[in-house]
Chain A
Amino acid sequence: MALVTLLWISVLVALVLAFVGDWRFAPEINIAGSALTFVASLVLALEVYQRGAFTAGGNFFFVDAFNVYLVVLTTFVSTTTAVFSRRYMRVERDHGKVGHWRMRFYHAMFQLFIFAMLIALLTNNFGVLWISMELATLATVLLVSLYRTPTAIEAAWKYFILCGVGIAQALFGTVLLYFAAERVLGVGGNALLWTNLSQVSSQLEPTVLRLAFVFLMVGYGTKAGLVPVHNWLPDAHSEGPTPISAVLSGLLLNVALYALVRCKSLVDISTGTRFAGNMMIGFGLLSLLVAAFSLLRQKDIKRLFAYSSIEHMGIATFAFGLGGSIATFGGMLHMLVHSLTKSSVFFSVGHASQMHGTQEMARIRGLLRGNPSVGWGLMLGVMSLSGMPPFGLFASEFLILTATINQMPLMAIPLLIGLAVAFAALFRRVQPMVAGATPPWQTPLKAANIPVFLHLALAVLFGLYLPPFLSRWFEMAVELLR
């Protein structure tokens, strides 16, 4: 029941927003709609917590501990992003960057995008998962090009083409998966259902699944921004409006990784080897290292944090590839805290670039004096991203590192190098931006503080103390993925 409500709310709100357009209260409707989905997702989570995993809608939907936590995260971050976007987009509008029609489009597409991600997370069918991933991409393509500047159009075109190509590979992988499943489960829609596949995964033909996983890895890996198929990500995440950057980096990457993890657990059981896991380890470490070194040479503040997203997705992919209860637990915690922190950092970045009228890091200076809350928001966010102690990413990276040393000691070396380089690169860039005197071109700004600091507070909380319901939840999910 909560599940159906959850999905209907975002569709209805999208329709309402497309209809009311740029009416004065449109941002408030956007916030209220997102908040309602958040409440519905909490109800759904409670249901899972009490009853365990269940299917709904005639096997069309499937909810377990793993996807429900991502659903709650998605609706929560979309709510806070809607709060942030109200103030941010008003400034953009006053500057004449977007007009009446584009605001209407922006609001409607924002909700549609949330809807697509929720379907992707909740569906039981691998085919529908693919469709909704593609839908989420399509909903955001025109949001990336919202400002219609040459660079924004270039970024959106790249996003459209490269993700289209990438995700096509995932569809081929899904066809192969269906081919293997059909031989065991029989013809028809049931053969693509996760609930059926996970039961017969040991009987699926290993050679076919191995081939399928190569395609799925490339396809969903493109969407998760893994190196070497990441080229679209820094452009798309840096050229769009900042609220969109926040949800793309904070949420859509998670959904792609979720798809990959589901596929991986099928393939590794079927082949009886660590084939899929090892492939994810390779992609994950490569992403971490390439992104960490790319961080060093960024000039644009949003590109900097886009590369940081690649880095963190790399770490999480690595953790899931490693497998085992500690690493999987760490990977899930990492996804959660990274989403919270990254969206908070993007909120601060949006404020900072509005204050300076540029995204160029060399021209952003003296944030702490100019606007202490923006300055501290950015500083604390970066501390969290680089894995400093009180924050949750420290805990998750520590877990992942421990598991690495236990299972594959040699892999700890590149992991540590990547983390250290990323740490140094982020601080080298961010310190001059927050410290120092205020430059003359800085303008005052009323910042949306609640979303920024709420996310950071949660990131600290999950670092110091994991509420028992959350850790039990993660343990349930770890059990599922083993």
Chain B
Amino acid sequence: MSTELVIQLNTLLAAMILLTSFALLVQRRMFAILHIFAWQGFFLGLSTAVIGFATGEHHLYISSLLTLVMKVILLPYILYTLIHKLKIHREIESVMNTPATMLAGIGLVIFSYHLTAPVRQLSTLMTRSTLAVALATVMLGLLMMVTRRHAVSQIIGFLAMENGLFFAATSATYGMPMVVELGVALDLLIAAFIFGIFFFHINTTFDSLDVDQMAKLKETD
């Protein structure tokens, strides 16, 4: 495979990751959100494998496999089971002002390009152009967590941020050292365990997973 082709393929995959980030931002149905999240993980894993193939960095294959297992199979499966058990699969969340959220998202993408400009200039890697997309994915995940009121979609925003961070590591440096990547994956698994417990607690205590009901702890005068 020629370098030119690899770069184009990688850019295509980066574009798909960005597209799924925007789709997550405005999707309101629980299952659809889950599907989009799984697709994002799939593109991420594929992109990692492509970079690994093109650069000969074989540890990227392990990262890619880890991503595919964790983010395409394991986490969506856990969330799927939780959604079923909590009987919220029919829920449609009200999302505030879709056009405004989209515009804010576009603003964040431009901001990410601006912010990563010095890094892109210094880098000689073939993946340098996708670093901005990675930061944008992090920012869009953050935006999703801020604009959503449902506990499950907030968590998916959190996991999408994680995807963005992983993508940033592959595009800036061809992946972090293996020990760090494994450690991050372990933390993610523990986090999945914890939010699973949380969903049940929130649901039994507040009779719904709408986090707007949790507003008792405020500064009072």
> A residues within 8 Å of B by Cβ?
125, 127-128, 130-131, 134-135, 138, 141-142, 145, 148, 150-151, 153-158, 160-161, 164-165, 168, 171-172, 174-176, 178-179, 182-183, 187-189, 191-192, 205, 207-208, 211, 235, 239, 294, 297, 299
Question: Are A141 and B176 CB-contacts (below 8 A) given A151-B217, A161-B158?
Answer: no
Residue of A127, A130, A211 ringed by the most chain B CB atoms within 10 A: A127
User: Can you list 9 pairs linking A and B with CB atoms under 8 Å apart?
Assistant: A128-B179, A148-B205, A153-B201, A164-B158, A168-B165, A175-B169, A182-B173, A187-B173, A191-B177
Q: How far is the CB of B178 from chain A (nearest CB, A)?
A: 7
- In the bound assembly, the distance between CA atoms of A154 and B206 in angstroms comes to 10
When distances are taken between beta carbons in the complex, the residues of chain A under 8 Å from B191 are: 138, 164
Interface string of B157-196 (1 = CB under 8 A from A): 0100110010011001110111110011011001100110
B214 CB within 8 Å of chain A: yes
When distances are taken between beta carbons in the complex, the residues of chain A under 8 Å from B221 are: 297
Name the one of B168, B180, B190, B220 contacting A172, with C-beta atoms under 8 angstroms: B168
Question: Are A175 and B176 CB-contacts (below 8 A) given A160-B195, A160-B198?
Answer: yes
The DSSP consensus for interface residues of chain B is helix
Q: Which 6 A-B pairs have the closest CB atoms?
A: A127-B180, A131-B183, A189-B177, A154-B214, A207-B118, A179-B172
Name the one of A138, A178, A235 contacting B173, with C-beta atoms under 8 angstroms: A178
B109 CB within 8 Å of chain A: no
Which residues in chain B, 36-50, are within 8 Å of chain A measured between CB atoms?
A: none
Interface string of B133-167 (1 = CB under 8 A from A): 00100100010010000010010001001100100
Question: Are A150 and B179 CB-contacts (below 8 A) given A164-B158, A164-B191, A175-B169?
Answer: no
B69 CB within 8 Å of chain A: no
Q: How far is the CB of B161 from chain A (nearest CB, A)?
A: 5
B12 CB within 8 Å of chain A: no
When distances are taken between beta carbons in the complex, the residues of chain A under 8 Å from B206 are: 150, 153
Residue of A nearest to B181 (CB): A127
Q: How far is the CB of B202 from chain A (nearest CB, A)?
A: 6
- In the bound assembly, the distance between CA atoms of A464 and B148 in angstroms comes to 53
- In the bound assembly, the distance between CA atoms of A154 and B119 in angstroms comes to 39
Contact assessment for A168 and B161 in the assembled complex, using a CB-CB cutoff below 8 Å:
yes
When distances are taken between beta carbons in the complex, the residues of chain B under 8 Å from A176 are: 119, 172
Residue of A nearest to B161 (CB): A168
Residue of A nearest to B191 (CB): A138
Given contacts A138-B191, A157-B151, A157-B198, list 8 more A-B pairs with CB under 8 A: A153-B202, A158-B214, A165-B145, A165-B158, A168-B165, A172-B165, A175-B169, A178-B176
When distances are taken between beta carbons in the complex, the residues of chain A under 8 Å from B4 are: none
- In the bound assembly, the distance between CA atoms of A450 and B52 in angstroms comes to 59
Contact assessment for B201 and A158 in the assembled complex, using a CB-CB cutoff below 8 Å:
no
- In the bound assembly, the distance between CA atoms of A165 and B169 in angstroms comes to 17
When distances are taken between beta carbons in the complex, the residues of chain A under 8 Å from B195 are: 160
B211 CB within 8 Å of chain A: yes
When distances are taken between beta carbons in the complex, the residues of chain B under 8 Å from A156 are: 198
Name the one of A131, A138, A168 contacting B194, with C-beta atoms under 8 angstroms: A138
- In the bound assembly, the distance between CA atoms of A191 and B195 in angstroms comes to 33
Q: How far is the CB of A296 from chain B (nearest CB, A)?
A: 10
When distances are taken between beta carbons in the complex, the residues of chain A under 8 Å from B174 are: 187
Contact assessment for A151 and B179 in the assembled complex, using a CB-CB cutoff below 8 Å:
no
When distances are taken between beta carbons in the complex, the residues of chain A under 8 Å from B123 are: 179
Residue of B nearest to A190 (CB): B177
When distances are taken between beta carbons in the complex, the residues of chain B under 8 Å from A299 are: 220
Q: How far is the CB of B203 from chain A (nearest CB, A)?
A: 10
- In the bound assembly, the distance between CA atoms of A145 and B198 in angstroms comes to 9
Which residues in chain B, 95-138, are within 8 Å of chain A measured between CB atoms?
A: 115, 118-119, 122-123, 135, 138
Residue of A157, A161, A171 ringed by the most chain B CB atoms within 10 A: A171
Contact assessment for A141 and B178 in the assembled complex, using a CB-CB cutoff below 8 Å:
no
Name the one of B154, B177, B219 contacting A127, with C-beta atoms under 8 angstroms: B177
Contact assessment for B158 and A142 in the assembled complex, using a CB-CB cutoff below 8 Å:
no
Residue of B nearest to A154 (CB): B214
When distances are taken between beta carbons in the complex, the residues of chain A under 8 Å from B161 are: 165, 168
Name the one of A157, A164, A178, A191 contacting B211, with C-beta atoms under 8 angstroms: A157
Q: How far is the CB of B170 from chain A (nearest CB, A)?
A: 10
- In the bound assembly, the distance between CA atoms of A83 and B118 in angstroms comes to 52
Name the one of A128, A141, A157, A208 contacting B180, with C-beta atoms under 8 angstroms: A128
When distances are taken between beta carbons in the complex, the residues of chain B under 8 Å from A160 are: 194-195, 198
- In the bound assembly, the distance between CA atoms of A178 and B191 in angstroms comes to 25
Contact assessment for A211 and B119 in the assembled complex, using a CB-CB cutoff below 8 Å:
yes
B90 CB within 8 Å of chain A: no
Name the one of B122, B169, B178, B205 contacting A150, with C-beta atoms under 8 angstroms: B205
B9 CB within 8 Å of chain A: no
When distances are taken between beta carbons in the complex, the residues of chain B under 8 Å from A191 are: 177
When distances are taken between beta carbons in the complex, the residues of chain A under 8 Å from B85 are: none
Question: Are A171 and B177 CB-contacts (below 8 A) given A150-B214, A207-B118, A235-B217?
Answer: no
Contact assessment for B214 and A157 in the assembled complex, using a CB-CB cutoff below 8 Å:
yes
Q: How far is the CB of A153 from chain B (nearest CB, A)?
A: 5
Residue of B nearest to A151 (CB): B216
When distances are taken between beta carbons in the complex, the residues of chain A under 8 Å from B198 are: 145, 153, 156-157, 160
B78 CB within 8 Å of chain A: no
Q: How far is the CB of A23 from chain B (nearest CB, A)?
A: 24
Residue of A nearest to B118 (CB): A207
Contact assessment for B162 and A168 in the assembled complex, using a CB-CB cutoff below 8 Å:
yes
When distances are taken between beta carbons in the complex, the residues of chain B under 8 Å from A205 are: 122
Residue of A148, A168, A235 ringed by the most chain B CB atoms within 10 A: A168
Residue of B nearest to A135 (CB): B187
- In the bound assembly, the distance between CA atoms of A160 and B174 in angstroms comes to 29
When distances are taken between beta carbons in the complex, the residues of chain B under 8 Å from A171 are: 165, 184
- In the bound assembly, the distance between CA atoms of A46 and B133 in angstroms comes to 49
Name the one of B173, B201, B214, B217 contacting A175, with C-beta atoms under 8 angstroms: B173
Question: Are A127 and B176 CB-contacts (below 8 A) given A161-B158, A172-B135?
Answer: yes
